């Protein structure tokens, strides 16, 4: 063993002597003849993967139809980025049809005095507000004039979406136009409260990055079809945290034509005031507790009874619509919206230990 150490020490000493005495090893690197100051050769990459080609194709086909929406209001006279103080709102929209209609979020254009959009080509156009649906956070704009309108985005369906399938968002986060992000559909059938005081049902949740400025932009499937309109994020910081939401395209395809025709969407109702879910939970009641009915309303005419304020006794509890269970107010409002104002629905009511069915007409409560 001592001999081995002696040999190693001798080798190390020889190397040290060579380093300290050799002039060749002291030549500066800059003078080494093989270090010529020329650009490095570019290595050719192989072909793009099928997944990359598909993503590129989606962006190239769809992005021309995505616009940046800038809003000027009396409170914020400058058009700027969404979320910046002292500036007007900025969001995203997209071409809906060949008549020049654009779709965006209601919260992007609410309280606006002037709206302009910028296309991917850089062309800027003024637009008119056609209609708003606060209960769905949707709005429709119409271009006043443009040289050449991009093609509308192909429509998909949100009815057959699966958790785990790919999702792509194109928009203008923080004013950075024509940005694309990708992810998956993280969940379905979420419920999202709106500024209109209702909830949007069957909302799509995605982890595709969505930030301020993306609002109103398209959410796409792997075929480049529209499957939703990005509308909100959950984030303590206000930036993307992997939880974004989109209004499902099946809802959009129902609401947008109504906005184009009438400038508004009816708010279907039957004329009741319902108790909050916390009240139902405390009382151990499953369904919608009717607090009172509006005078002359369809609910009153159908004999629906509210809470007896003298005794505090609960009256009728709505437990089903057309045989479909109702466990919360959003279930009821969703069923009424699906049926539509002017139609009649069959409600299942529970009063005490008795259960009965009644037919009730649906009205537009904003015009009743």
pLDDT at 137 over 70: yes
Query: DSSP label at 137?
Result: T
pLDDT digits over 284-323, tens only?
888 999 999 999 999 999 999 999 888 888 999 999 999 9
Banded model confidence at residue 76, pLDDT cuts 50, 70, 90: low
Same domain assignment for residues 230 and 314: no
At 40, list the tokens: 């490095």
Q: Which residues are catalytic?
A: 107, 137, 215
Mark whether 300 and 213 lie in a shared domain: no
Kindly tell me the number of DSSP H helices and DSSP E strands found in the chain: 7, 20
Alpha helices for 140-292 (secondary structure H): 249-262, 277-283
Residue 360 covered by a domain = yes
DSSP reduced 3-state for 132: strand
**pLDDT on residue 26:** 52
Residue 155 located in a structural domain:
no
| pLDDT tens digits along 79-127 | 554 444 334 568 999 999 999 999 999 999 988 889 999 999 999 999 9
- Segments of 194-235 assigned E as strands: 199-206, 218-220, 226-233
pLDDT, residue 354, reads 92
CA distance 229 to 28: 63
Position 25 in a domain: no
- Segment 16-47, tens digit of pLDDT: 555 555 454 455 555 556 556 788 888 988 99
Co-location of 170 and 249 in the same domain: yes
Same domain, yes or no, for 199 and 225? yes
Of 262, 284, 300, which one is at a domain's C-terminal end? 262
Same domain? For 135 and 220 the reply is: no
- Which pTM does this prediction carry? 0.75
Kindly report the backbone phi and psi dihedral angles of residue 49, in degrees, each rounded to the nearest multiple of 5, phi listed first.
-70, 160
CATH number assigned to the domain comprising residue 190: 2.40.10.10
| Residue-number span of the structural domain to which 72 is assigned | 60-143
- Give the domain CATH number at 321: 2.30.42.10
305 shares its domain with 319: yes
User: Considering the domain boundaries, does residue 93 fall inside one?
Assistant: yes
Please tell me whether residues 310 and 343 are part of one structural domain: yes
**191 found inside a domain:** yes
Query: Do 177 and 205 belong together in one domain?
Result: yes
Domain end point (choices 262, 290, 315): 262
Q: Within a domain: residue 161?
A: no
In a domain, 103, yes or no: yes
**pLDDT tens-digit map of 157-212:** 999 999 999 999 999 988 888 999 999 999 998 888 776 567 788 899 999 988 88
Q: How confident is the model at residue 276 (pLDDT cuts 50, 70, 90)?
A: confident
- Same domain as 235, residue 212: yes
- pLDDT for 212-269, tens place per residue? 889 999 999 999 999 999 987 665 555 556 788 999 999 999 999 999 999 999 889 9
| Tally of domains in the chain | 3
Note whether residue 10 is domain-resident.
no
Are the CB atoms for 180 and 162 separated by under 8 Å?
Answer: no
Nearest of 222, 225, 220, 223 to residue 204 by alpha carbon: 220
Same domain, 96 and 71: yes
Shared-domain flag, residues 174 and 251: yes
Q: Where are the beta strands (DSSP E) in 31-137?
A: 66-72, 90-95, 101-104, 114-118, 124-133
CB contact at 8 A, 229 and 221: no
Which one of 230, 262, 294 terminates a domain?
A: 262
273 and 242 share a domain? no
């Amino acid at each position: 063993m001592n001999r081995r150490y002696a040999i190693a020490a001798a080798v190390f000493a020889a190397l040290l002597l060579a380093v300290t005495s050799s002039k060749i090893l002291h030549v500066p690197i800059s003078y080494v003849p093989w270090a010529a100051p020329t650009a490095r050769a570019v290595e050719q990459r192989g072909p793009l993967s099928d997944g990359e080609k598909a993503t590129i194709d989606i962006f190239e086909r769809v992005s021309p139809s995505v616009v940046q929406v800038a809003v000027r209001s009396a409170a914020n006279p400058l058009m700027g980025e969404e979320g910046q103080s002292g500036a007007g709102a900025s969001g995203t929209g997209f071409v809906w049809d060949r008549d020049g209609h654009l779709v965006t979020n209601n919260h992007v254009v609410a309280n606006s005095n002037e709206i302009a959009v910028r296309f991917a080509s850089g062309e800027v156009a003024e637009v008119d507000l056609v209609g708003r649906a606060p209960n769905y956070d949707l709005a429709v704009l119409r271009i006043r004039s443009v040289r050449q309108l991009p093609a509308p985005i192909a429509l998909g369906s949100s009815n057959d979406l699966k958790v785990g399938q790919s999702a792509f968002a194109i928009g203008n986060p923080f004013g950075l136009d024509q940005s694309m992000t990708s992810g998956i559909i993280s969940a379905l059938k979420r419920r999202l409260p709106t500024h209109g005081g209702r909830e949007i049902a069957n909302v799509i949740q995605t982890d595709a990055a969505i930030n301020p400025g993306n609002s109103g932009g398209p959410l796409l499937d792997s075929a480049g079809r529209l499957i939703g309109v990005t509308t909100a994020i959950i984030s303590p910081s206000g930036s993307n945290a992997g939880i974004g939401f989109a209004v499902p395209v099946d809802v959009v395809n129902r609401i947008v034509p109504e906005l184009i025709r009438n400038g508004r969407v009816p708010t279907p109702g039957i004329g009741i005031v319902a108790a909050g879910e916390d009240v139902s939970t405390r009382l151990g009641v499953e369904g919608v507790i009717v607090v009172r009915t509006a005078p002359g309303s369809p609910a009153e005419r159908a004999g629906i009874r509210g809470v007896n304020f003298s005794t505090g006794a609960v009256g009728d509890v709505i437990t089903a619509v057309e045989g479909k269970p109702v466990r919360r107010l959003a279930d009821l409002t969703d069923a009424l919206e699906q049926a539509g104002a002017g139609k009649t629905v069959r409600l299942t009511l529970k009063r005490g230990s008795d259960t009965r069915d009644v037919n009730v007409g649906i009205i537009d409560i904003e015009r009743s």
